[in-house]
Structure 1
Amino acid sequence: MKVISTNTGEPKTVLWKGKEIKTGIYKYPVDLPIYLGKEDVKNDHVIDRRYHGGSNKACYLYAADHYSYWKAKYPNLEWNYGMFGENITVKGFDEKNIKIGSVYRLGSAIIQISRTRQPCFKLGIRFGDQAMVKQFIDSLRSGVYLRVIEPGNVSVGDTFVLEKEHKDGITITELNILRFHYNKEHEDLIKKALLDPLITEEDKKYFRKRI
């Protein structure tokens, strides 16, 4: 897996249901390395810290490989990396193969795969179509949030070096299924997730409600 774009954004004011709101979802590629801190990315802007930033959502990553899928659905948009609000765009990233809790060295930082994304209306604003929110969930092309174990710089061209795989963990795709597409067929999987010490307590609270 290789970083092909690092992205940050300035706060932007948009109209939502007749009211002005601020969002940090409009991110664009930058030429310099980005610094991953414990709570967020330096010089980036997190507007609503109830849902973004913090130890379990310090940085958001998205797959460059998914862009062609979305470009086919939204061909009239002006496309650039950072379209999904991600700080890091990665080539070779596949949610089906990456385990929640696995640890990687990336640039001078050490990061851990943490949580999947639950998109909100701001993603719909970014794409000019609120149907995008459900499309995003249904696609299972979620990207992932990172926990930063050791802060450091990440640059275009950096590769992910596996430090410790959470071999008995569940994948990002499986976590997406439990969050958004759970049914009785997934009962064993949800029990496995509840016993996993590297699944966040926020996710476990949601799973307990489901069962």
Structure 2
Amino acid sequence: MSDTVFRVDAVLTGVVAPLGDNGKQSAIGKVPVDRRVWLGETGLDGDEQAERKHHGGPEKALLHYAFDHYAVWRDEWSMPRDGLTRLDTCGAFGENISTLGMTEATVCVGDVYRMGGALVQVSQPRQPCWKLNLRFERDDMSRRVQDTRRTGWYYRVLEAGEIGAGDTIERLARPHPGWTVERLLRVLYVDRDDRGALEGMANLDTLTPSWRATASKRLASGKVESWSSRLDTPVSQKQDT
């Protein structure tokens, strides 16, 4: 395939279920489906979210994670056996779409793709949260995902339709070729006081409004927002010792 056409290797959905020793409700556990699935404005039929405030919705209708990263995780990152086993198959990071060949370095915000019978647009990078810590049994897993910038990214749905494993993903438009997902992540987490980059980010018309607002607030205040409540496992959810 060309560098603008890729293949859906798996479409995944999940249901709300207890996560971790203390039973936090989450639908981060996604499994491949063996049928075609309707993708609507707010996500896939049958795909649940426990906390709608932070997951799902029009700007986070579909989470894509590169299966390319799985081998890297296995090679570089020691984990408890249960956590490592999760890397045997796709779905470990709560993704809805699994592919090879598309990564944060090659996908840009605003990219428009024909994915099976649907039309989707890259809306924002994924911001990892502490539920990854529970899923992988590591208190630092969410920070590791953020620090490596192997986060995945979200789509908004421009045209609803059915999608399934084996479908092609064809890029139809790239309005912001200079703004890869990886670059956005660098601006947010690494080059945090680069005012020129923040101004550019604040003016990206296809970027999710909340991300643009973050850039604007940082420019106005000169301060970087705290990430601890998103990344650090609450005491109430940590394993009893």
Selected match of 1:117 from 126, 129, 140: 126
| Displacement after TM superposition at 1:169 (Å) | 5.2
Which structure has the larger Rg? Answer: 2
CA distance in structure 1 between the aligned counterparts of 2:14 and 2:177, rounded to whole angstroms: 36
| Displacement after TM superposition at 1:167 (Å) | 3.5
**Is structure 2 residue 97 aligned with structure 1 residue 83?**
no
| Displacement after TM superposition at 1:35 (Å) | 2.0
Runs of 4+ in 1 over 3 A off after TM superposition: none
CA distance in structure 1 between the aligned counterparts of 2:52 and 2:102, rounded to whole angstroms: 26
User: TM-score, normalising length from structure 2?
Assistant: 0.81
Q: Which of 175-184 and 58-67 deviates more?
A: 175-184
User: TM-score, normalising length from structure 1?
Assistant: 0.92
Q: Give the superposed CA RMSD.
A: 1.6
The total of aligned residue pairs comes to 208
The equivalent residue for 1:2 is 7
The equivalent residue for 1:55 is 58
CA contact (8 A) 2:15 2:49 kept: no
**Is structure 2 residue 16 aligned with structure 1 residue 11?**
yes
1:60 counterpart SS class: strand
CA distance in structure 1 between the aligned counterparts of 2:148 and 2:196, rounded to whole angstroms: 23
Structure 1's unaligned 5+ residue stretches are none
The equivalent residue for 1:136 is 145
**Is structure 2 residue 47 aligned with structure 1 residue 39?**
no
2:54 counterpart SS class: coil
Selected match of 2:106 from 97, 101, 106: 97
| Aligned 1:60-209 pairs, distance under 5 A | 60-72=63-75, 73-74=77-78, 76=81, 77-78=84-85, 79-167=88-176, 170-184=179-193, 186-209=194-217
CA contact (8 A) 2:110 2:176 kept: no
1:125 corresponds to which letter in structure 2? L
1:190 corresponds to which letter in structure 2? L
The sequence identity of aligned pairs, in percent, is 32
2:195 counterpart SS class: helix
Offset from partner CA, 1:13-57 (integer Å, 9 cap, x none): 1346xx532000011122112221101211011111111111100
